[in-house]
């Protein structure tokens, strides 16, 4: 019973932290906000996570772990390769829009010297880039897609999805004149734009 209660409390904290980090960003989020959202006192929150950085890393691991394997498993489906690409873009873009702290966490870790936490967490989540490379090379051999570098292809897909999300603080005021509806409409149509760009690169 004690272990179940501990697990329930920890999941409650992670769910609350995910909501607060999504709403406020890491800088704006306060441990007291997270404790209040989780329905616990701040002392108990600090018992589980001693700092906001440790909690942020835990939330990333929790959210990314649930998301990553499910999204990359799309490439193991029976769909044709182009449908797999389209579904991957749609699901990945939707996931990071709902969890903007995921790319922000990775970006933050990249700016830290001697710190590979993000890479370690992603590897442990079960993301299998080797499988994707083998799949791309197989499609090339079959003549279904052009000669292309699998590593560059996945980097292009991820970058095209991630940039508009992490750059929202710049894009919304500068490109869309602080019009949230215009930005949201742009994001809504982003999947089709990315799909067209990628298909134009790989279709024979």
Torsions phi, psi of 115, nearest 5? -140, 115
pLDDT at 26: 79
CATH of domain 1-50: 1.10.10.60
Name the segment(s) of the chain with CATH classification 1.10.10.60: 1-50
3-class SS of residue 181: helix
- Let me know: does 44 contact 36? Beta carbons within 8 Å: no
| Distance spanning both ends of the chain, measured CA to CA | 59
Name the segment(s) of the chain with CATH classification 1.10.357.10: 63-202
- Looking at the domain 63-202, which fold is it? Tetracycline Repressor; domain 2 (1.10.357)
Taking only the tens place, the pLDDT of each residue in 22-69 is 788 778 889 999 999 999 999 999 999 999 988 988 887 777 777 777
* pLDDT-above-70 percentage for the chain: 86
Average pLDDT over residues 168-175: 93
Taking only the tens place, the pLDDT of each residue in 104-117 is 777 776 666 655 66
Select from 49, 167, 43 the least CA-distant residue to 18: 49
- Let me know: does 204 contact 171? Beta carbons within 8 Å: no
pLDDT at 82: 97
Torsions phi, psi of 145, nearest 5? -135, 165
């Amino acid at each position: 019973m004690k272990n179940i209660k501990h697990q329930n409390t920890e999941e409650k904290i992670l769910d609350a932290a995910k909501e607060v980090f999504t709403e406020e960003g890491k800088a704006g989020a306060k441990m007291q906000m997270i404790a209040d959202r989780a329905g616990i006192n701040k002392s108990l929150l600090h018992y589980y996570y001693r700092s906001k950085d440790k909690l942020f890393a835990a939330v990333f691991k929790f959210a990314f772990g649930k998301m990553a394997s499910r999204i990359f498993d799309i490439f193991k489906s029976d769909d044709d390769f182009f449908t797999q690409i389209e579904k991957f873009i749609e699901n990945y873009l939707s996931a990071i829009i709902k969890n903007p702290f995921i790319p922000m966490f990775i970006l933050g870790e990249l700016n830290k010297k001697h710190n590979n936490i993000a890479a370690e967490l992603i590897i442990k989540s079960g993301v299998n880039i080797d499988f994707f490379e083998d799949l791309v090379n197989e499609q090339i051999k079959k003549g279904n897609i052009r000669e292309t570098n699998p590593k560059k292809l996945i980097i292009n897909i991820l970058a095209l999805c991630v940039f508009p999300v992490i750059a929202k603080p710049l894009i919304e005021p500068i490109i869309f004149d602080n019009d949230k509806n215009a930005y949201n409409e742009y994001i809504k149509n982003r999947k089709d734009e990315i799909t067209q760009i990628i298909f134009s690169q790989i279709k024979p």
